[in-house]
Amino acid sequence: MEKTVSMEPLFLAWSSYRRRRFQRCADICSQLLSESPYDQAAWSLKTRALTEMVYIDEVEVDQEGIADMMLDESSIAQVARPGTSLRLAGTGQGAAPTPAVRPMTQSGRPITGFVRPSTLSGRPETMEQAIRTPRTARPVTSASGRFVRLGTASMLTNPDGPFINLSRLNLAKYAKRPNLSKALDLAALATEHAQFKDWWWKVQLGKCYYRLGLHREAEKQFRSALTHQEFVDTYLYLAKVYQRLDQPITALNVFKQGLDHFPAEVTLLTGIARIHEEMNNMTSATEYYKEVLKQDNTHVEAIACIGSNHFYTDQPEIALRFYRRLLQMGVFNCQLYNNLGLCCFYAQQYDMTLSSFERALALVSSDEEQADIWYNLGHVAVGIGDLTLAYQCFKLALAFNNNHGEAYNNLAVLELRKGRIEQAKAFLQTAASLSPHMYEPHFNLATLSDKVGDLQSSYMAAQKSEDAFPEHVDTQQILKNLRQHFATL
């Protein structure tokens, strides 16, 4: 009689967990629990597997829902001093390219070289702007969309009902066990049981308060935890609280305190660089990203942001080196090939330009990405003088994303070259309404209105252009001429 030899199921489940095959691990644990419902090892391992399946690193800058952006209860100074606010436009420090060189977000912050979840720097001014996006709007809740998802995912269900029935748990009993944790009540009970000396439970309390929007209470818990135990994550959580409270200078001080205890820590250096970047202080941001690369030369965000900064400071050849480095590291997406195509074009390596954009088009995953690539191809066509191709590219960009303000602006310029003044004016008005933070459509509309004799519209558009870009010389000249004209009437 033959006997089959098989691996012990719990060991197999643990092996699957270590190899990050979480679903298989959870299935094996479910089989074990069906045979032995009180097997604590299987319960614990299945809980960890289900948690890892939906885990998001909370020390990263988190995503705000529409309600977080529009119904913010944190009061801020309406007239912030320069260099002290992430929310108000025009409070950055001047050592950075102007909007004429580097595109800006609708709050006056520069577009970064690395996509991060939305932060305070991208706050819309109206609900209409908040929901005007080709993507599905985020949940209108007080917590961010990902926490809503995590709240349901943490209790993953199966045909037999929920894995953990929270209403039947005796939290006071579990609070005495330092190796288990569930939510705010449990964290409060456990902190009390530990005589308010356990730093870990204080951090959990702070995280709960942060999710509930009680930022000052979260700050107290994180500060208290740091008095018991210096820990990198605690500094990151505390800095995140100050960023949500729109206190970037205090957040920078927290990061620097962390660096005093943990010298050359990559996550702390990255946090400092991000804040400097959002404050439009590109020189300092680049220096800190270079420090990050000295410690971790495969840090994708640092490489991408330095490359982006070189591109916008008229050094496409150097930017090309950084983007090729990303390609060598295995980063393979349409955004990277899109950037490579632009760098090759501006570095006059025309043989690589179109092939890079072809690769980018083959890798697109959304209509918004497709629109951006066709828009950039339109720029290439303008650069080589093929205005017919440029016109078609901008039209294609609008076909994939009809909220693309830049494409409307450029189409208006091409229409004006063909003598279609009314069509150009309509496109410019559309671009100005879709992208009020851009100065180009306002300035172009002011120039066009001035030429056709509509001085009032020209003056209003020029004022909007001045609001978006106060240092723009041509806008100042138009305003000066119009004021002189009005004074003589």
- Using pLDDT thresholds of 50, 70 and 90, give the confidence band for residue 463: very high
Q: Residue range 297-320: average pLDDT?
A: 93
Check: CB of residue 345 under 8 Å from CB of residue 353.
yes
CA dihedral 338, 343, 349, 353 (to 10 degrees): 10
Instruction: Give yes or no for residue 167 having a pLDDT over 80.
Output: no
- Using pLDDT thresholds of 50, 70 and 90, give the confidence band for residue 79: low
Check: CB of residue 114 under 8 Å from CB of residue 301.
yes
User: What per-residue confidence (pLDDT) applies to 246?
Assistant: 84
Check: CB of residue 144 under 8 Å from CB of residue 65.
yes
Beta-carbon contacts of residue 118 (< 8 Å; ≥ 6 apart)? 63, 64, 69
User: What per-residue confidence (pLDDT) applies to 62?
Assistant: 59
Instruction: Give yes or no for residue 332 having a pLDDT over 50.
Output: yes
Q: Residue range 268-275: average pLDDT?
A: 94
Domain boundaries, the chain: 9-53
* Residue 185: φ, ψ to 5°: -60, -45
Check: CB of residue 232 under 8 Å from CB of residue 258.
yes
Instruction: Give yes or no for residue 94 having a pLDDT over 90.
Output: no
- Using pLDDT thresholds of 50, 70 and 90, give the confidence band for residue 137: very low
* Token representation of residue 174: 């579990």
Instruction: Give yes or no for residue 136 having a pLDDT over 50.
Output: no
CA 402 vs CA 55, 372, 398: distances in Å? 35, 11, 4
Is 216 or 106 the better-scoring residue by pLDDT?
216
d(CA 202, CA 226): 9
Q: Residue range 83-94: average pLDDT?
A: 58
User: What per-residue confidence (pLDDT) applies to 201?
Assistant: 82
Q: Residue range 181-191: average pLDDT?
A: 63
Q: Residue range 339-343: average pLDDT?
A: 95
- Using pLDDT thresholds of 50, 70 and 90, give the confidence band for residue 106: low
Is 205 or 288 the better-scoring residue by pLDDT?
288
Matching residue, tokens 């309406």: 78
d(CA 439, CA 247): 28
Q: Residue range 287-299: average pLDDT?
A: 95
Q: What is the mean pLDDT of the chain?
A: 80
**Residue 187: count of CB within 10 angstroms of its CB:** 25
Per residue, the 3-state secondary structure of the chain, as one string, reads: CCCCCCCCHHHHHHHHHHCCCHHHHHHHHHHHHHHCCCCHHHHHHHHHHHHHHCCCCCCCCCCCCHHHHHCCCCCCCCCCCCCCCCCCCCCCCCCCCCCCCCCECCCCCECCCCCCCCCHHHCCCCHHHHHCCCCCCCCCCCCCHHHHHHHHHCCCEECCEECCCHHHCCHHHHHCCCCCCCHHHHHHHHHHHCCCCCHHHHHHHHHHHHHCCCHHHHHHHHHHHHHHCCCHHHHHHHHHHHHHCCCHHHHHHHHHHHHHHCCCCHHHHHHHHHHHHHCCCHHHHHHHHHHHHHHCCCCHHHHHHHHHHHHHCCCHHHHHHHHHHHHHCCCCCHHHHHHHHHHHHHCCCHHHHHHHHHHHHHCCCCHHHHHHHHHHHHHHHHHHCCHHHHHHHHHHHHHHCCCCHHHHHHHHHHHHHCCCHHHHHHHHHHHHHHCCCCCHHHHHHHHHHHHHCCHHHHHHHHHHHHHHCCCCHHHHHHHHHHHHHHHHC
Q: Residue range 6-29: average pLDDT?
A: 88
Q: Residue range 342-360: average pLDDT?
A: 94
- Using pLDDT thresholds of 50, 70 and 90, give the confidence band for residue 489: confident
Rg of the chain on CA atoms, in Å? 27
Q: Closest Cα partner for 249 from 291, 283, 224, 278?
A: 278
- pLDDT (tens digit per residue) in 21-48: 888 999 999 888 888 888 888 888 988 8
User: What per-residue confidence (pLDDT) applies to 58?
Assistant: 65
Q: Residue range 236-247: average pLDDT?
A: 91
Instruction: Give yes or no for residue 131 having a pLDDT over 70.
Output: no
Instruction: Give yes or no for residue 153 having a pLDDT over 80.
Output: no
- pLDDT (tens digit per residue) in 112-122: 777 665 443 34
CA count, 13 A, side-chain hemisphere, 401: 25
d(CA 197, CA 147): 28
Q: Give the lowest-confidence range in 193-207, 272-286, 289-303, 423-437.
A: 193-207
